[in-house]
């Protein structure tokens, strides 16, 4: 499975570097923990990739909101239903 991480372009996706992946993940976990991370400070860490990191970091807030809304509006929903796996399955 590890090879997936090094896969370059996939359906038009830029070949994100390890630093970008780490930065996005770090930012994402800070948002999920309810924090208000300073996006500009994060972007300043990798100024060279700012143009493609900014939309991803902005998308983090959008996705966080979107999934919260889905969870709120469909309280009985089992997460796995979302991707079409059987109701009783667990991972």
Partner 1 sequence: MDEYEALRKLRLGIDIDRAFAVLVELYKDMLFRFLYHKCGNYADAEELVQQTFIAAFKHIRGFEPRRAPFSSWLTRIAERQWLVMCRGRYREADAVRTLSICGPVSSPGPDDELIRRAREEAVWAMLGRLDFYDAVIAVMHWMEGKTYAQISRELGMPERTVKMHALRARHLLRMQVLVEPVPRQPAVIEEDGWMS
Residues that bind partner 1 (CB under 8 A): 1-2, 4-5, 10-14, 16, 18, 20-22, 24-25, 28-29, 32, 48-49, 51-52, 55-56, 59-60, 62-64, 66-67, 69-71, 73-77, 79-91
Residue 13 has φ and ψ, to the nearest 5°, of: -80, 130
Q: How far is the CB of 38 from partner 1 (least distance, A)?
A: 20
Q: How far is the CB of 21 from partner 1 (least distance, A)?
A: 5
**56-88 exposure pattern, b = at least 16 Cβ within 10 A, e = fewer:** bbeebeeeeeeeeeeeeeeeeeeeeeeeeeeee
Give the distance, in angstroms, between the CA of residue 83 and the centroid of all CA atoms in the same chain.
17
Q: How far is the CB of 30 from partner 1 (least distance, A)?
A: 11
């Amino acid at each position: 499975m590890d090879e997936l991480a090094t896969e370059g372009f996939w359906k038009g996706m830029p070949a994100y570097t390890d630093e970008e992946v780490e930065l996005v993940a770090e930012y994402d976990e800070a948002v999920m923990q309810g924090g208000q991370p300073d996006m500009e400070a994060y972007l300043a860490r990798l100024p060279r990739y700012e143009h493609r990191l900014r939309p991803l970091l902005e998308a983090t807030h959008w996705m966080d909101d979107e999934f919260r809304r889905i969870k709120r509006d469909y309280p009985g929903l089992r997460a796995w239903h979302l991707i079409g796996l059987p109701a009783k399955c667990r991972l």
